[in-house]
Amino acid sequence: MKSASWCVVKVGGSLFDLPDLQQRLRCWLAQRQGQRHLFVAGGVAWVDQLRSWDRRYRLDPVTAHWLAIDCMQVTAALLHTLLPEATRIRTWDDWLALEASGERQVILDVKQFLQVVEPTLPGVRLVADWRVSSDSIAARVATAVAADALVLLKSRAPVGREPTAAWAEENYVDVWFPQLMTDCADVAWVNLRDDQWAATMDRKGD
């Protein structure tokens, strides 16, 4: 499964309300020419509504988990409209067919990966409940493809700048994520909502 130069990028669902998200993503990617990116889209807005329904209807945890994964398929489709140059894939066979190709940007629908591939991976397996979010899912994708790095694109910076269990304590990542960090070669974050950062990127693009 190894692909030497892939970086897994989790795009936080909270970023999808940014009117200039497409520009911010492309500015960030422009800094990283030569790197290959495998995107996982978070589903925050839809998942937050699902959490509300869960509180009201007391959903089975496994049912709620897979409904949340369905929400991530919606944001993956939305991400593809913002980055149409990327290749959107839905199955692991699709990934295996293109990982050694010349593709530079790939968006993964994670449902089939979670159903078929993730349970076979070494390391700590994901649980099917609210302890797991797209953060941990992206970490497992990074393990599966032996990625050089995992980058979390978020709406804020963490209080603790280095990846530790404190990230979960401050709700920067889900509570399952700290168990998975050691399986990732490198974990980094970017506050893509930071207007000062965006202005800097705009100037670099002038």
Supply the pLDDT for residue 202. 45
pLDDT at 151: 97
pLDDT for position 203: 39
Give the pLDDT score at 150: 97
- Looking at residue 197, its pLDDT comes to 66
Domains of the chain: 6-205 (3.40.1160.10)
Kindly give the parts of the chain with pLDDT less than 70: 1-4, 197-206
pLDDT of residue 198: 61
pLDDT at 99: 83
Alpha-carbon gap, residue 108 to 39, rounded angstroms: 6
Sign, Cα dihedral of 2, 147, 138, 75: negative
Distance from C-alpha of 81 to C-alpha of 77, rounded to nearest angstrom: 7
pTM, two decimals, is 0.92
